[in-house]
Amino acid sequence: MGRIAYFDIAAFIILSILLFSLLFRKMNRGRINTTYIALLLCLLIATFADALSTAHLTSITDSDLRNRYRMGISTVYFVFRILAGPIYIIFIGHMSGTWHRTKRHASFLAAFTLPYLLCFGLLIYNLGSKAIFHYTPEGAYVRGPLMVIFYIVGIYYMVISLVYLFQSRSILDKEKLFTLFMIFPLTGAAMIVQYFQPDYLLEMFAYAIVAMLINAIILRPEETIDPITGARSYRSFTMDMQKYYRSEVPADIIFVRIKNSTALLSILGNEKHQKMQREVAVILRNTDTRKSHGLFHEVYYLYNGLYAILIDGKTRKEFADTEAQRIFDIMKTPLHSSHLDLDMDASVCIVRTPTDIDNWDDLIAFANSFHYNVPDDKVVILSEIAPEKQFQMKNNIDEIISNGIINHSFVMYYQPIYDVKEQRFTCAEALIRLFDENNGMVSPGVFIPSAEKSGAIHQIGEFVVQDVCEFIARQDMEELGLRYVEINLSAVQCMRNNIATKVNNVLKNCRIEPQYINFEITETASDFVHDTVKTNVLAMHSFGLEFALDDYGTGYSNLQRMMDFPFKLIKLDKSFVDEWEDPTMRMVIRDTIHMLKDIGKEIVVEGVETEEEATWFAEQNCDYIQGFYYARPMPEQEFLDFLHEHNHTR
């Protein structure tokens, strides 16, 4: 029986479709994508050669020539088949963000490259010796005594891949880890079958299945590419930056904000505005390739005129400085688009991570507001202005708060909350933001404690309740798919004797039903002068307002004190999400959720940032999930657009 190429043909079709789809969608940038494409090309060539080696070649009458042809084609197959192992290891390294450190070790590089070089040398030697494989005059494929070396090398690279995956388990989420692991059982089984049944060419088909899983589960083109600009998406940026922070890889990020993007939208209309956004993305990508040699350079479109350029490599600082200046100069000249010369009001800032900003949450907060902080007439490097601005801001925080109240500089942002059962966004948390003329966005973590000390929190709290109620009064909540909006009450606010009366008056003046408001108070607030807080909460509850216990797990979590209050919702603190992968903590979290459900509470999980986290907490019967995985806090109009898009309310 001759060698059967049907599996090779199927593998070739799968690999060709995958490669074409990536190139068609222009997913040929970035280290992960380029390494994956290299892997596809390697497998494609090996598969094509493997299939050709089975051809009958009836047109070649000279049997010796036929065998030399088959020997050459089979040698090409082995060259690229063995090469797939090292490329896969590099792919794992780029997925985990650790390749830049791993490749520096000479011992690893030697262990990484020498087995392949050995196989390559043996293949050249085999052309004359036929010690690895050869073909009989009748065209039958015969293994030689040295063929076992190739199986040993294949197993060797599989072991290295497995060890590398194990070392990266704390960086990669479990879905990616599982997908990358699938190469071992699939190709291992194919190798065993093909070893004992050489006529069944299964190996390349197994690799094709692995490549298809990687494309569908890890790369996810539909989620990682922004459909309007063609740049990498906001989701891709969050995943990449979290990987950089976890692996402690230094990088430079150039943030570019087109501050008049909304005004340009009203002038151009949606179609031409999208064309302009694509053209800006092209400008940001079209760097000097000579200067960027050896660097990783990726462009992301985040939202509402905000772009990010991620750069890493040995000369990243020099390149980032030059690139930022190039972008700034271009943005200061009119952009010719749709037969119009458009003036773009842009701010450009360089952030060196993790030295300038040491955590992901603060990076996103900075990206949202940096254009308020930096001058318009030059490129700014955050490290050069941050210490002075932070000192001035903290030293003058009371004055900043006072000016914010007088100048109406406080604004409300809304973070959608995902309803697990209904699989849509049915509520949101209202979050206050302060934008100071001189300091940009002032973190709530800075101004809230100061406002509580000075007493300004009462004015801020009244503004929040009034503004949110007015927002609700302007909307058709049922049309938006919203049941209620959550509002935070601080410990100081909860102690005020007339708070229930004031809230009730706002509800009446705005003519909204109490069911649309859900107040959040923290565990520390419920403990702070317990009787006074309890009296005020019960008073507000009596005219229809619901309450949630916020940040559950950060205080003493006394069950009796919790039962004293009419809490409908319990919001699990982000610390639960941060520790859920620890086996012991996972048991604690699971038991906590079951206990809260048993006493009739609805549960919201805060701080969810990955699909794996969202899936696990949903499986634990949590009711709602809140976090960057689903949505970040956003201004009012952007929040409404988000609901229309994701709840399909238009």
Cis, peptide link before residue 354, omega less than 30° from 0: yes
DSSP3 helix / strand / coil % (the chain, rounded to 5): 60, 15, 25
Write the pLDDT tens digit of every residue in 379-391: 888 877 665 555 5
User: Do the beta carbons of residue 122 and residue 146 sit within 8 Å?
Assistant: yes
- The answer to whether the beta carbons of residues 233 and 338 sit under 8 Å apart is no
The answer to whether 401 and 393 are in contact (CB under 8 A) is no
Instruction: Look at the pTM and tell me if it is higher than 0.85.
Output: no
Query: Are the CB atoms for 97 and 244 separated by under 8 Å?
Result: yes
Beta pairing, strands 440-442 & 141-143: unpaired
Q: What is the pLDDT of residue 495?
A: 82
* Tens digits of residue pLDDT in 348-361: 999 988 888 877 77
Do 237 and 280 contact (CB within 8 A), yes or no? Answer: no
Length of the chain: 650
Q: Higher model confidence: residue 262 or residue 513?
A: 513
Q: What is the pLDDT of residues 400-448, one digit of tens each?
A: 888 888 888 888 999 999 999 999 999 999 999 888 777 777 778 778 8
The letter for the amino acid at 153 is: V
466 has a pLDDT exceeding 80: yes
Q: How far is 427 from 194, CA to CA, in rounded Å?
A: 56
326 vs 38: CA distance, rounded Å: 31
Whether the CB-CB separation of 425 and 481 falls below 8 Å is answered with yes
- CA pair distance 326, 73, nearest whole angstrom: 49
**pLDDT of residue 640 exceeding 60:** yes
Instruction: Give the pLDDT confidence of 524-542 residue by residue, as tens digits.
Output: 665 555 678 888 889 999 9
Summarised one tens digit per residue, pLDDT across range 126-161 is 988 889 988 887 777 888 899 899 989 988 998 988
The answer to whether 49 and 73 are in contact (CB under 8 A) is: yes
CA angle at residue 617 from 616 to 619, to 5 degrees?
A: 65
The pLDDT tens digits of the residues spanning 590-613 come to 999 999 998 889 999 998 888 888
Provide DSSP, 204-272: HHHHHHHHHHIIIIII-HHHHB-TTTSSBPHHHHHHHHHHHHHHT--EEEEEEEETTHHHHHHHH-HHH
| Cα pseudo-dihedral 184, 190, 191, 197, rounded to 10 | 170
Q: What is the pLDDT of residue 61?
A: 62
Q: What percent of the chain has pLDDT over 90?
A: 24
